[in-house]
């Protein structure tokens, strides 16, 4: 049985979601800062943006009054996805450090940690561990 799609594409998903939530955080904070509670005749919320950030208005108009809720939820999503990305990079580096040893004794001593890290990372890392086991004839 293969690994979950969230495990296999963790790097790509976490990077994409981190960038998306960073953009939403920036847009929503600008929107909350410059939003006026008054609406025009059609019921749209008015954003009085300075000229140098007026291009944000095309992103803020569809959000309307929801920009306040997005300003609360987007930073939370940014923190969660950034941690998910950081955790992936940390585990990848840790596994690389444990695998890249010429000593069979050191490899066997760290085998539990190596197998756990390989299990929690995409299949390609598990394949690297299997090839290293074959190299050491384990």
d(C-alpha 30, C-alpha 49), whole Å: 8
Give the position of tokens 């990848």. Answer: 92
State mean pLDDT over 86-95. Answer: 97
More confident residue, 56 or 102: 102
Residue pair 91/121 in contact by the 8 Å Cβ criterion? yes
CA angle 40-33-85, nearest 5°?
125
pTM, entire model: 0.82
* pLDDT tens profile 5-56: 999 999 999 999 999 999 999 999 988 887 765 566 676 777 777 777 777 7
Residue pair 87/58 in contact by the 8 Å Cβ criterion? no
- Residue spans of the domains in the chain: they are 5-135
Q: According to the model, what pLDDT value does residue 30 have?
A: 87
Residue 64: pLDDT over 70: yes
Q: According to the model, what pLDDT value does residue 37 have?
A: 58
Give 47-59 as a 3 state SS string: ECCCHHHHHHHHH
Residues 6+ apart with CB under 8 A from 37: 45
């Amino acid at each position: 049985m293969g690994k979950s799609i969230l495990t296999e594409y963790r790097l790509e998903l976490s990077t994409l979601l981190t960038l998306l939530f960073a953009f939403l955080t920036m847009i929503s904070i600008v929107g909350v800062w410059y939003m006026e509670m008054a609406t025009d005749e059609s019921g749209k919320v008015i954003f009085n943006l300075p000229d140098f950030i007026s291009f944000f208005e095309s992103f803020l108009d569809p959000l309307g009054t929801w920009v306040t809720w997005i300003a609360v939820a987007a930073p939370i999503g940014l923190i969660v996805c950034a941690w998910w990305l950081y955790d992936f990079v940390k585990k990848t580096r840790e596994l690389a450090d444990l695998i890249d040893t010429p000593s069979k004794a050191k490899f066997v001593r760290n085998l539990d940690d190596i197998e756990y890290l390989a299990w929690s990372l995409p299949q390609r890392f598990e394949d690297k561990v299997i090839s290293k086991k074959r190299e050491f004839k384990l």
